[in-house]
Amino acid sequence: MKLSLFLDPQEGMSYRTLRDATLTAESCGYHGMYRSDHLTSTADHFERAATEAWSTLAGLARETSTIRLGTLVTPIGFRHPSLYAKILNTVDEMSDGRVDLSVGTGWYAPEHLRLGLPFNEIKQRFDEMEEYLQVLLSLWGVAPFGADADRVEGAAAGGGFEGAHYRVDDLTIAPASVQRPHPRMILGGHGPRRTPRIAARYADEYNVDWLSPEETGRLNRNVDKACAAIGRDPGEIGRSILVGAVVAESPAAVDSRLRQAGEFLGLDDVDGWRETNRESWTVGTTDDLIDRLRQYAAVGIDHTMLMLAPGDDLDVIEHVAQVVMPAIAKS
């Protein structure tokens, strides 16, 4: 299992803090650093600073050399797909081919509405997302897996696309991405039917977040079935999860570490939060975290994006790398 760091900077984390955590993760051997893509606080603290995701990733592309970089996930309402393709190719060039892309329907309505961005009902957002992915692939000159012959021929020509929600004239995105035919595509979600079908057609990696191992296994099986329905080998799609951890070196230090995490996360009731989030967060020692990640490996997860709290504690990032990473490397 690969281990990556996840950061949630929209609650006031500066670029400097984001950079220091990323450089520490790179020096410790983390596979990647993935950050949220939000333009405001998602905790209703709209006075907090929220750095723009791809601006910071462009900076990190030049300040790092080996770690992979990306978002979890980019909402479709923030950037037109042709603009997103241009941004991705640019940062991919800046990083020498270390960018992963991700796309989602978006979930936090107040953020979109405050900024005057579209946020339609969920079915339409799914329709828009599938077209969004088609535009991206068309601009890169490829087709979804299982597309019919006409769609493949049209995509191979590159350029234009016209659908119900997006239209792009004949256009070649330059610079081309370093990764060919395009940056690695991470798609995910919890939907039982449409999400697996989209993942089977478009994804290089299927991601779920904040779920138990049991629920994660069920969703992975749904993706396997969707792949079988279109003749795709499910082994071609990596499987990842985003989860959180508050870890201490000993059981006696866990409560103290939880209080520090609560301050970082802005929690009023850390004990209540701990009880509510037992499925999605590990609060305990590194041994507890290792056991948890092995449970995810047993249901098919080969890549964990780990949110640590406090997220600006470089010692914790190093400690997890030293203790947890070797223990799960062969999981």
Q: What is the pLDDT of residues 137-187, one digit of tens each?
A: 988 888 899 875 344 334 444 557 889 999 998 777 888 899 999 999 999
CB 140 within 8 A of CB 182: yes
The angle that helices 122-139 and 81-94 make with each other, rounded to 10 degrees, is 50
- pTM score of the predicted model: 0.94
Residue 284 gets the label, from left (phi > 0), alpha (psi -120 to 50) or beta, of left
CATH no. for 4-188: 3.20.20.30
Residue carrying the six token digits 């400690």: 319
pLDDT at 158: 53
Q: State the Cα–Cα distance between residues 144 and 1, nearest whole angstrom.
A: 27
The terminus-to-terminus CA distance of the chain in angstroms comes to 5
pLDDT at 267: 87
pLDDT at 330: 83
Whole-Å CA distances, 41 to 13, 46, 140, 178: 11, 5, 33, 33
Give the pLDDT confidence of 175-196 residue by residue, as tens digits: 889 999 999 999 989 998 999 9
Helices and strands per DSSP (H, E), number in the chain: 12, 12
Alpha-helix runs per DSSP H in 115-253: 122-139, 149-156, 194-202, 213-230
CB 248 within 8 A of CB 308: no
pLDDT at 297: 98
Taking alpha carbons only, the member of 224, 233, 240 closest to residue 146 is: 233
pLDDT at 73: 95
Task: Copy the structure tokens of residue 290.
Answer: 């290792």
pLDDT at 113: 95
Tell me the backbone φ, ψ of residue 266, rounded to 5 degrees.
Answer: 70, 35
Q: State the Cα–Cα distance between residues 151 and 119, nearest whole angstrom.
A: 29
Taking alpha carbons only, the member of 53, 50, 6 closest to residue 25 is: 6
pLDDT at 29: 98
Q: Which residues of the chain have pLDDT under 50?
A: 149-157
Contacting residues for 27 by C-beta, under 8 A, at least 6 apart: none
**91, exposed or middle or buried, with CB in 10 Å at 0-12, 13-18, 19+?**
buried
CB 41 within 8 A of CB 3: no
Domain-by-domain residue ranges, the chain?
4-188
Q: Which amino acid is at 44?
A: D
pLDDT at 159: 56
